[in-house]
Amino acid sequence: MQEFLQQLINGLAVGGLYALIALGYTMVYGVLKLINFAHGELFALGAYLGLTLLTALGLAGGGPAAVALILLFAMGLVALAGYLLERVAYRPLRGSGRLTAVVSALGASIFFQNAMMLVFGAKARVYPGGILSGEVFTLLGAQIPATRILLLASSLLLMLLLYWFIHHTRTGAAVRAVSLDQGAARLMGIDVNRVISLVFLIGPALGAAAGVMAGLLYGQIKYDMGVLYGLKAFTAAILGGIGNIPGAMAGGILLGVIEALGAAYISIAWKDAIAFCLLILILIFRPTGLLGERTADKV
Amino acid sequence: MIAARRSLLSWSAFFASLAALPPLLPLLGVDGGGAVQIGVLNDIGIYLILALSLNIILGHAGIFHMGHTAFFAVGAYAAAILNTSCGWPILSALPVAGLLAALLAFLVAVPVIRLRGDYLLVVTIGVVEIVRICLVNNIFGLTGGANGIAGIGRAVILGRRLTTPADIFYLIWSFAALSVLLFSLLENSRFGRALNYIREDEVAAAGCGINTGRHKIQAFVLGAFWAGMAGTLFAVKTRLVDPESFTFSESVMLFAIVILGGAGSMAGIVLGTFLLIGLQEIFRDFLEARMLVFGAAMVAMMIFRPQGLLPARARRYDTGGRTGASPGAAGREKKPGPPAGNGAAGT
């Protein structure tokens, strides 16, 4: 029970990160029907920018307020990177085939990854420890570090904000309209290009937040960390039903928990394989995901 | 037929001039008798065989497959295990390695082949990762974990042990030439034409009586079979197989060779392999910047030349004058219309 609770909390904390990254995949897929392979790299970029700001501003001992500030900075900068990515690598390909855009996304991913390696170095970098409280709660005998709770809470907060924005604002309604039917949205007077740009600001910003949080959670970041996280977050997006925003949140958290429990009770060595097996099984048996709607588009 | 003869001639010239390289390089005074250059050409040869086999799947059938390394890995490990544990001569493992890779491909393909393009892409990426994790975790106690399998015996052909890079060179490039020959026959066969039809319009192809699912699975399995045999050649060359040789980024590289060279075009793929693998070796000193440039080039290519460097030409057939054209006109170069066949632009 104690072990289970411990793993559950671990899983929820990691799942929150997966969910934040998955939101970027799912929103882009919603409006462009494109798997943004460079999204994982934007997540890693967020982690690096967070660390750079943290050390440059000397905020390593600043507590949660400093972390929040860093988080916002990193989110803003990565949002800009996401915007540029769409303008340079995806917008010129609008209307050409799916494969063309996918290859462009792969190229952008390789570009970002190696740019980060050149700028930040090929070795893993260490996040300063104990920025957030080092306190550890004891709940029913399970040891729960306060950092995990704080991270889980912040990712949930970001998700709630996004949910509110998408479902309760005019702009959010425009995003939903574009993902339903681009042509019809345009006829209704929605500026589709602006909506797509907006999605490429929001998605990467959430990814960057996840990047900083991953640094705080694990204490170590590496230039190629975006690949594995990206693939897993994409799995989470599929799990929840790609294009579906609450689905990505649920899928991310579920994947984090499944992985943590699988690692604890099956074998830690097979942890990464669990996510990919899950991905294949979902695509075979329920390609619309858990919360995905049935669509006319044949999968 | 004139076009076919011309292409046969240029392929023969290409392989003949390559074959002349190992004795020529020392004569030209290249450092160390050109062993380094031959080594690079060996790498290029293996990638070429892999890219040609991927071309059947990705270029001709239009299946978004980014997991080719998985089949390559299965072939390499199968050969390594048969050689080191069962004492088979390494080259006799060639067909078995191919068959095992084909078996894996069949098991993967049957449930997922009907998925839409980009979903299939993700499944194949998942397969590469699963295979690599299995190798790292020393599955069935056979794969040697992260260290892989060392001590693979040398290949022997007609009593001759292949010891120098030049020996390996002739082995790999003979196989590459054989691949070009067989795949060009396949391309122009009924099967090859059916695959192209499926790539261009799956519904119409099904309407014309092509069993699309079966054809796609056959293309997938055939490509994997060939990749498995390429894996054996890799084991012959390196005499050591480890999981790090079969990562997702190798798959991306193969995918990029086919797309950037020209999907469905063998000349394009040869060019793509030489450019991507060859330049990578030449610019080893700029190790860090070269992949940056490569990524940017991939984006630029998709914007400015999505059909690849040397795109496949539209097929032309000699109608024997039955359509009213004089028989001599069939071989003459007509201005080609928009290339009907290139997977890069298709959706």
With contacts defined as CB-CB under 8 Å, which chain B residues touch A98? 117-118, 347
Give which of A113, A109, A112 is closest to A35, Cα–Cα.
Answer: A109
Tell me how crowded residue B201 is: count the other CB atoms within 10 A of its CB.
Answer: 12
Closest Cβ opposite residue A284 in set B112, B116, B134: B112
DSSP state of B242: -
Q: Which of A214-218, B96-100, B260-264, B322-326 has the lowest mean pLDDT?
A: B322-326
A28, amino acid identity: V
> In chain A, which residue's Cα lies nearest the Cα of B123?
A280
Distances (CA, A) of A116 to A72, B110, B112: 20, 39, 35
Find where tokens 């995901």 sit.
A289
Backbone torsions φ then ψ of A210, nearest 5 degrees: -60, -35
Task: Give the dihedral sign, CA A205/A207/A213/A215.
Answer: negative
Closest Cβ opposite residue A99 in set B130, B256, B347: B347
Distance from CA of A141 to the nearest CA of B (A): 33
pLDDT at B174: 92
pLDDT at B2: 61
**Of the CATH numbers 1.10.3470, 1.25.40, 1.10.150, 1.25.10, which one belongs to the domain with range A2-285?**
1.10.3470
Confidence grade of residue B293 (pLDDT, cut at 50, 70, 90)? confident
The predicted model gives A68-97 an average pLDDT of: 91
Radius of gyration of chain A (CA): 19
Q: Which residues fall within 8 angstroms of residue B15, CB to CB, at 6 or more apart?
A: B173, B176, B177, B180
Q: Report the C-alpha gap between A295 and A227 in whole angstroms.
A: 29
- The average confidence (pLDDT) of chain B is 83
Confidence grade of residue B1 (pLDDT, cut at 50, 70, 90)? low
Distance from CA of B288 to the nearest CA of A (A): 7
> In chain B, which residue's Cα lies nearest the Cα of A273?
B130
Q: Report the C-alpha gap between A59 and A66 in whole angstroms.
A: 6
Q: Report the C-alpha gap between A135 and A60 in whole angstroms.
A: 17
First to last CA, chain B: 32
Helix axes B165-187, B35-54, angle to 10 degrees: 20
pLDDT at A130: 64
Q: Which tens digit of pLDDT belongs to each residue from A233-251?
A: 998 998 888 888 889 999 9
With contacts defined as CB-CB under 8 Å, which chain B residues touch A114? 288-289, 291-292, 295
pLDDT at B47: 95
Distances (CA, A) of A245 to A24, A35, A116, B78: 9, 15, 29, 44
Percent of chain A with pLDDT over 70: 94
Q: Report the C-alpha gap between B113 and B142 in whole angstroms.
A: 30
Q: Which of A70-74, A203-207, B130-134, B136-140 has the lowest mean pLDDT?
A: B136-140
The H or E element that residue A126 is part of is: strand A125-126
Q: Which two tokens stand for residue A118?
A: 């050149």
Q: Report the C-alpha gap between A195 and A206 in whole angstroms.
A: 17
pLDDT at B230: 95
Distance from CA of A287 to the nearest CA of B (A): 9
The predicted model gives A54-66 an average pLDDT of: 76
With contacts defined as CB-CB under 8 Å, which chain A residues touch B126? 231, 235, 276-277, 279-280
The predicted model gives B243-262 an average pLDDT of: 88
Distance from CA of A218 to the nearest CA of B (A): 22
Confidence grade of residue B323 (pLDDT, cut at 50, 70, 90)? low
pLDDT at A297: 47
- A299/B347 Cβ within 8 A: no
Q: Report the C-alpha gap between A11 and A262 in whole angstroms.
A: 10
Contact, A144 vs A138, CB < 8 A? yes
Q: Which of A28, A87, A109, A110 to mutate to test the interface with B (most CBs of B within 10 A)?
A: A110
Q: Which of A221-225, B14-18, B299-303, B322-326 has the lowest mean pLDDT?
A: B322-326
- A272/B299 Cβ within 8 A: no
Q: CB of B255 within 8 Å of any CB in chain A? A: yes
Q: Report the C-alpha gap between B217 and A249 in whole angstroms.
A: 35
> In chain A, which residue's Cα lies nearest the Cα of B62?
A99
Contact, B7 vs B180, CB < 8 A? no
Question: Is residue A173 packed enough to be buried (19+ CB in 10 Å), middle (13-18) or exposed (0-12)?
Answer: middle
- B343/A35 Cβ within 8 A: no
Radius of gyration of chain B (CA): 21
Q: Which two tokens stand for residue A100?
A: 């063309």
The predicted model gives B203-225 an average pLDDT of: 92
pLDDT at B152: 81
pLDDT at B335: 42
pLDDT at A133: 64
Domain spans, chain A = 2-285
pLDDT at A298: 40
Confidence grade of residue A23 (pLDDT, cut at 50, 70, 90)? very high
Name the residue with higher pLDDT: B76 or B149: B76
The predicted model gives B176-201 an average pLDDT of: 90
Q: CB of B131 within 8 Å of any CB in chain A? A: no
> In chain B, which residue's Cα lies nearest the Cα of A118?
B288
A221, amino acid identity: I
Q: Report the C-alpha gap between A17 and A230 in whole angstroms.
A: 11
Give which of A161, A140, A153 is closest to A64, Cα–Cα.
Answer: A153
Strands B149-150 and B160-161: unpaired
Q: Report the C-alpha gap between B71 and B229 in whole angstroms.
A: 9
Q: Which of B122, B283, B301 to mutate to test the interface with A (most CBs of A within 10 A)?
A: B122
- A231/B299 Cβ within 8 A: no
Task: Count Cα neighbours of A223 within 13 Å in the Cβ-side half-sphere.
Answer: 16
Backbone torsions φ then ψ of A219, nearest 5 degrees: 80, -5
Q: Which residues fall within 8 angstroms of residue B298, CB to CB, at 6 or more apart?
A: A103, A104, A106, A107, A110, A111, B256, B260
Q: CB of B116 within 8 Å of any CB in chain A? A: yes
- A98/B295 Cβ within 8 A: no
Confidence grade of residue A86 (pLDDT, cut at 50, 70, 90)? very high
